[in-house]
Amino acid sequence: MRIHDLTNKRQLGVLMIAAMLATQGASAHNIAGTAIGFVSGFRHPISGLDHILAMVAVGIWGAQLGRPAIWALPVAFPLVMSIGGVLGVRGVPLPGVEIGVAASAFALGVMIALAARPPVWAAAVLVGLFAIFHGHAHGTELPHAAQPLAYGAGFVLATGLLHVTGIAIGLLQQWRQGERVLRLAGVGIAIAGSYLLIGLVRA
pLDDT tens column, 27-64: 333 344 455 667 777 877 777 788 889 989 999 999 99
What is the pLDDT averaged over residues 139-165?
78
- Residue 156 or 20, more confident: 156
The mean pLDDT of 161-166, rounded to a whole number, is 90
Mean pLDDT of 68-93: 87
Please state the rounded mean pLDDT for residues 65-89. Answer: 87
Q: Is the pLDDT of residue 80 over 70?
A: yes
Question: Which position has the higher pLDDT, 186 or 26?
Answer: 186
Distances in whole angstroms, Cα of residue 6 to Cα of each of 14, 18, 105, 143, 154: 12, 18, 72, 48, 52
pTM given for the model = 0.76
pLDDT at 6 over 50: no
Predicted pLDDT at 8: 47
Mean pLDDT within 68-83: 88
